[in-house]
């Protein structure tokens, strides 16, 4: 009997909590509908007052998700322009410091991002997770968004960010975004804690086209995640094509990681990757040695210098891996 009474009491508590949740949800939905109604009717003051009731804040400060965030996220350009015209702050932040510009860039909505920037949106706002609008644009692979943000002086190397745009671009396999970032000064060899260099990230995620482009643009082939090299990552992932690329660009097959292991020791036994790594342990050809020495002497800008040397076409193509 007592057990039944306890169960009944617990049941009543759960019912009460659920009813309270439904009530709060109903109020919020109703207020959101009213806000939309007043925006459509052009009543700026009433829309702002109801928005303040929904989010419990004064306009222009902190918010949960405002109508401006939703419009930007879904790419609703007309709604976005209407909200801005009615006084919504383009730099309104959520509790997590997410701005409408973050939302527009995450969805790759270039037109919405442009409108926000033209109305004074901060291009380098960082969320509590260390993400900038540029990171979001790289995540979704919008080349147009990335280019526009950089034109508005987005910084790809902000010290306060925890996620770097170049790493995000190569992780997702967005080669063109990575090229634009490097052209605008992103550090091609930047090593991020627990993440490594862009080349290491590309190898870990098996993004062959990004690996090729990073190597062409002068990425350090032996710089990875502390003592774990990109070749270790390729061996671990059984990426034969990537392993060949790295070796062609001079990857050290005799480099040990923190566990004291060579790349070949991480490859699956009798796999194509293991065969590639074992073959690479032999002596390199004279042509390969000469190419690596020339590229090493010219440094990371070799891809820019070599075309200006007026070399025979076949020699130039050989030095540039074309």
Q: Between the CA atoms of 281, 315, 322 and 304, what dihedral angle is there, to the nearest 10 degrees?
A: 100
Higher pLDDT pick, 136 / 2: 136
| pLDDT recorded at residue 18 | 79
Q: How far is CA 124 from CA 50, 127, 137, in A?
A: 30, 10, 12
Instruction: Map residue 119 onto helix, strand or coil.
Output: coil
Task: Give the pLDDT band of residue 31 (cuts 50, 70, 90).
Answer: low
Cα diameter, the chain: 96
Give pLDDT, residue 59.
Answer: 44
Task: Compute, in degrees rounded to 10, the torsion defined by CA atoms 273, 279, 281, 282.
Answer: -170
Other C-beta atoms closer than 10 Å to the C-beta of 1 total 5
Mean local confidence (pLDDT), 2-30: 72
- Say yes or no to pLDDT of 298 above 70: yes
The predicted-structure confidence for 85-100, as pLDDT tens digits, reads as follows: 988 899 999 888 899 9
202-217 tens-digit pLDDT = 999 999 999 999 999 9
Compute the distance between CA of residue 224 and CA of residue 230 in angstroms, rounded to an integer.
Answer: 5
pLDDT beyond 60 at 4: yes
The tens digit of pLDDT for each residue in 249-261 reads: 999 999 999 999 9
Position 38 pLDDT exceeds 60:
no
144 alpha-carbon distance from chain centroid: 15
In the chain the domains, ranked by start, together with CATH numbers, are 65-163 (1.25.40.20), 188-282 (1.25.40.20), 285-321 (1.10.750)
Determine the distance from the C-alpha atom of residue 232 to the mean position of all C-alpha atoms in its chain, rounded to a whole number.
23
Beta-ladder partners of 63: 94
Structure confidence at residue 309 (pLDDT):
87
Q: How far apart are CA 197 and CA 203, in angstroms?
A: 10
Over 39-50, what HEC string results?
HHHCCHHHHHHH
Strands 62-63 and 93-94: parallel
Whether residue 316 has pLDDT greater than 90? no
pLDDT at 52: 53
**20 vs 306: which has the higher pLDDT:** 306
């Amino acid at each position: 009997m007592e057990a039944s009474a306890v169960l009944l009491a617990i049941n009543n508590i759960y019912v009460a909590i659920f009813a309270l949740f439904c009530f709060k949800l109903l109020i919020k939905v109703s207020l959101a509908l009213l806000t939309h109604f007043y925006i459509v009717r052009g009543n700026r003051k009433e829309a702002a007052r109801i928005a303040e009731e929904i989010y419990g804040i004064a306009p222009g400060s902190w918010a949960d998700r405002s109508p401006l965030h939703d419009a930007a996220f879904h790419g609703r350009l007309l709604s976005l322009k209407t909200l801005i015209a009615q006084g919504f702050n383009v730099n309104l932040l959520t509790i997590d410091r997410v701005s409408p510009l973050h939302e527009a860039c995450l969805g790759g909505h270039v037109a919405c991002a442009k409108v926000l920037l033209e109305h004074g949106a901060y291009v380098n706002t960082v969320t509590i997770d260390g993400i900038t609008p540029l990171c979001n644009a790289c995540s979704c692979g919008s080349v147009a968004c990335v280019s526009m943000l950089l034109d508005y002086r987005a910084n790809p190397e902000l010290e306060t960010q925890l996620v770097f745009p170049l790493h995000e671009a190569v992780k997702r396999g967005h080669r063109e975004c990575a090229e634009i970032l490097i052209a605008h000064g992103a550090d091609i060899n930047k090593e991020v804690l627990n993440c490594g260099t862009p080349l290491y990230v590309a190898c870990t995620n098996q993004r062959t086209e990004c690996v090729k482009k990073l190597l062409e643009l002068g990425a350090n082939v032996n710089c990875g995640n502390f003592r774990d090299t990109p070749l270790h990552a390729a061996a671990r992932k059984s990426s034969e094509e990537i392993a060949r690329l790295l070796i062609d660009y001079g990857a050290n097959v005799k480099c040990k990681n923190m566990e004291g292991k060579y790349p070949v020791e991480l490859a699956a036994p009798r796999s194509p990757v293991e065969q590639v790594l074992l073959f690479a342990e032999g002596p390199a050809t004279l042509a390969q040695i000469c190419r690596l020495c020339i590229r090493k002497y010219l440094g990371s800008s070799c891809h820019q210098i070599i075309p200006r040397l007026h070399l025979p076409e076949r020699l130039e193509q050989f030095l540039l891996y074309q």
